[in-house]
Amino acid sequence: MTVVLDVNWAVKWLTLCAQAMAEHRVELIELDRAIGDSDHGENMDRGFQAVLAKLGEATPETPGAALKMTAMTLMSKVGGAAGPLYGTAFLRAATALGDAGEIDPGAWAGALAAARDGIVARGKAEPGDKTMVDAWTPAVDAARAAADGDGADVLSVLVAAAEAAEAGAVATDPLIARKGRASYLGERSAGHRDPGAVSSALILRAAVGAAA
C-alpha cells in the first residue's frame, strides 16, 4: 500500500491532532501546572476542537489550505502563547507547501523546517531553552536525514520526525527553562517535561497515524 500525503491525509492528521489533544488534555494541564500556568491542555484542546469544527464546515482543497485554516483557527482560539506559536508553525508550513496536491518526502522535511523557523522567529527560543523548539529541531533534522536517504518514502520521514520529537520532549526533563513562563522558576524548572514539547510530539505523532 502506497502512502500518499494529500488533502485527505491532512484532514485526517488534523482530526487525529484534535483527538490527541482531547486525550492528553489532563496530562498537558498537569505538566503545565508544574512549571507554567496550567492552561496548555485546555488551550490546545479548545484550539483543535475549533479546527475540527472548521473542517466540518468546508473541506480544504490542498494540504496547504488545510494547514493555513488551522493556523488562523489556532491563533484565534488558543489564547495563550501557544496560539501564535503553533499558528505561525502551521502558517509557515502551509506557505512552504504552496498549492501542491501531494507532499513528497523532501517537501515534508521542508515544511517542518519552515514550521520550526516560524516558531523560533515568533518565540525567540533556541534549542536547549526547554521549549517546543527542543521537540521541533530534532524532528526537522531527522526528517531531513530520512528524506535525503536512498529510496526515501514519506511514511519513514513522518516516523523519523515523530520519534525524534518524542525523544526531544523527553530530553527537556533535566533542562532549566530560559524562555516562557517556566523561566520564572529558574532551576526549579528542571525535573519537569516541557508541555509545549510534549504537545509538539503529539502533533507529529498524529501525522504518522493519519498515514497508517
Report the candidate in 54, 38, 36, 43 with the shortest Cα–Cα distance to residue 77: 43
Q: Under the phi-then-psi rule, with left for phi > 0, alpha for psi from -120 to 50, and beta for the rest, what region is 176?
A: beta
Is residue 60 close enough to count as binding another protein by CB under 8 A?
A: no
Only one of the segments 2-10, 82-90, 108-116, 132-140 lies at the binding site for another protein (rule: CB under 8 A); that segment is 82-90
Q: Kindly state the cell numbers that stand for 163.
A: 520519534
d(CA 142, CA 145): 5
**Which of 87, 138, 195, 196 is in the footprint of another protein by CB under 8 A?**
87
Nearer to another protein, 92 or 205 (CB): 92
Only one of the segments 10-18, 20-28, 68-76, 108-116 lies at the binding site for another protein (rule: CB under 8 A); that segment is 68-76
Is residue 91 close enough to count as binding another protein by CB under 8 A?
A: yes
Only one of the segments 13-21, 81-89, 126-134, 199-207 lies at the binding site for another protein (rule: CB under 8 A); that segment is 81-89
Min CB(181)–another protein separation in Å: 9
d(CA 154, CA 172): 27
Is residue 81 close enough to count as binding another protein by CB under 8 A?
A: yes
**Which of 77, 192, 193, 205 is in the footprint of another protein by CB under 8 A?**
77
Only one of the segments 19-27, 53-61, 77-85, 139-147 lies at the binding site for another protein (rule: CB under 8 A); that segment is 77-85
Residue 125's Cβ-count burial label (10 Å; 0-12, 13-18, 19+) is buried
**Which of 19, 27, 52, 79 is in the footprint of another protein by CB under 8 A?**
79
Nearer to another protein, 39 or 141 (CB): 39
DSSP per residue over 96-112, as a string?
HHTT-SSB-HHHHHHHH
Span 99-158, contacts to another protein by CB under 8 A: 122-123
Q: Kindly state the cell numbers that stand for 142.
A: 531527522
Residue 113 burial (CB count, 10 A): 20
Min CB(196)–another protein separation in Å: 12
Report the candidate in 131, 41, 31 with the shortest Cα–Cα distance to residue 89: 131
CB distance 87 to 35 below 8 Å = no
> Which residues are at the interface with another protein (CB under 8 A)?
43, 72, 75-81, 83-85, 87-88, 91, 122-123
